[in-house]
C-alpha cells in the first residue's frame, strides 16, 4: 500500500509514492537515484547517510520516508550552486585534504553544514561534537576539522 506525499528536495518540490516501511535513505538512493548519500551501516551508527531535514542533520537510514510531508530535505547534491560551483565547505574539504576514500565525505559535509548554519563560528569542541556521529577511517579527522574551521572563518 503506497502513500502519496510531497516535500521539497534540494529546492525542488517533489511528489512521490512511498511504502510505509521505506526510509529516507531508500527513497533518496533508489527512487531519486541521489547516490551521493551513502549507506555505511543502515543502523544510524556511522553517519555516512547524513542529510539535512528542516535544518537538522539526521541519519537518513533511520528517518521514515512517511515523515517527509511538507518538509525540506537537503542532500549533498543540493549543496553546489546553480553553475556547479562548490559550497565553501566543499571547497575547504578539497583544499585541506579532508577527503581520502571519500565514502564518509558527503555525510561529514552535511553535518558540518547543519552546524555552521546554526553556529557560524563554532569552537573546535563544537565541531568535534557535530561530527562525532560521522565515522571516518582514513583521515583521523584532523584535516576534516581543519577544513570546517577554515570554512567557518570564510563566512
Partner 1 sequence: MEQFTSVGKRIPKSDARDKVTGRVIYMEDLKVPGMLYGRILFSKFPHAKILHIDTSKAEKLVGVRAVLTGRDIPPIRFGFLKDNVPLKWGKVRSYRDEVAVVAAIDPDIAEEAIHLIGVEYEALPGVFDPEEAMKEGAPLIHEVDARGGPLESNVLALPWKLVAGDVDKARTESAYIAEDRLKTPWVTHVCMGTMGIIAEFDLRNNLTVYANTQIPYLAQRDYNEALVAMGLRGSRARLIQPTIGGGFGSKLDTYGQDYIAILLAHKTRKPVKIQFTREEEFFATSPRQPTIINIAQGCTEDGRLTFRDVSMILDNGAYASWGATTPSVMMMPISSLYKVPNVRYIARCVYTNNTWSQAMRGYGNPQATFAIECNLDHLAEEAGIDPVQMRLVNSNTPGEVTPQRFKVTSCGLKECIERVAGSLNWESKHGRGDGRGVGMASLIHVGGGARVYKSDGCGTIIKVDDFGTVDVFTGATDIGQGADTVVAQVVAEVLGVGAEDVNVIDNDTEVCPWDVGVHASRTTFVACNSAIGAAKKVKEQILELAAGYAETQKDKDGTKREIKLDDDPGNLVIKDRMIYSTGDPEVKIPLGKILRGSHYRTGGKMVMAEYFYDPNNENLDHEFKGNLSMTYAYGTHGVEVEVDRETGKVTILKYIAAHDVGRAINPMLVEGQIYGAVSMGVGYGLTEQLVFDKGECMNPSFRDYKILTAKDVIPVEPIIVETMDRDGPFGAKGIGEPGCVPSAPAIANAIYDAIGVRLHDLPITPEKILRALKEKEGTEIP
Interface ranges with partner 1 (CB under 8 A): 29, 34-43, 45-46, 48, 75-77, 79-80, 86, 90, 93-97, 99-106, 109, 127-129, 131-145
CB of 95 to partner 1, least distance (A): 6
Residue 18 or residue 29: which is nearer to partner 1 going by CB?
Answer: 29
Print burial letters for 110-127: b (CB count within 10 Å at least 16), e (below 16).
bbbbbbbeeeeebeeeeb
Q: Copy the grid coordinates of residue 79.
A: 549543496
Please say which residue, 8 or 10, places its beta carbon nearer to partner 1: 10
- Min CB(93)–partner 1 separation in Å: 5
Q: Give min distance, CB of 71 to partner 1, in A.
A: 20
Instruction: Provide the CA 96 distance to its chain's centre, in angstroms.
Output: 19
Closest CB to partner 1 among residues 70, 102: 102
Query: Taking the complex as a whole, how short is the minimal distance between the CB of residue 13 and partner 1, in angstroms?
Result: 21
Task: Name which of 148, 103, 98, 105 is nearest 124 in CA terms.
Answer: 148
If the CB atoms of residues 40 and 63 are measured against partner 1, the closer one turns out to be: 40
How far apart are the C-alpha atoms of 20 and 23, rounded to whole Å? 9
CA dihedral 139→28→79→68, nearest 10 degrees, is -120
Amino acid at each position: 500500500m503506497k502513500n502519496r506525499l510531497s516535500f521539497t528536495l534540494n529546492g525542488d518540490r517533489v511528489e512521490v509514492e512511498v511504502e510505509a516501511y521505506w526510509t529516507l535513505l531508500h527513497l533518496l538512493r533508489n527512487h531519486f537515484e541521489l547516490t551521493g548519500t551513502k549507506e555505511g551501516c543502515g543502523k544510524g551508527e556511522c553517519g555516512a547517510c547524513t542529510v539535512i531535514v528542516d535544518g537538522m542533520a539526521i541519519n537518513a537510514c533511520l528517518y521514515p520516508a512517511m515523515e517527509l510531508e511538507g518538509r525540506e530535505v537537503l542532500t549533498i547534491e543540493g549543496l553546489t550552486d546553480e553553475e556547479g560551483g562548490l559550497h565553501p565547505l566543499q571547497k575547504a574539504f578539497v583544499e585541506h585534504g579532508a577527503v581520502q576514500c571519500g565514502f564518509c565525505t558527503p555525510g561529514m559535509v552535511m553535518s558540518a553544514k547543519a552546524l555552521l548554519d546554526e553556529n557560524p563560528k563554532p569552537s573546535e569542541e563544537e565541531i568535534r561534537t557535530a561530527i562525532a556521529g560521522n565515522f571516518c577511517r582514513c583521515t583521523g579527522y584532523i584535516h576534516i576539522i581543519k577544513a570546517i574551521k577554515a570554512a567557518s572563518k570564510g563566512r
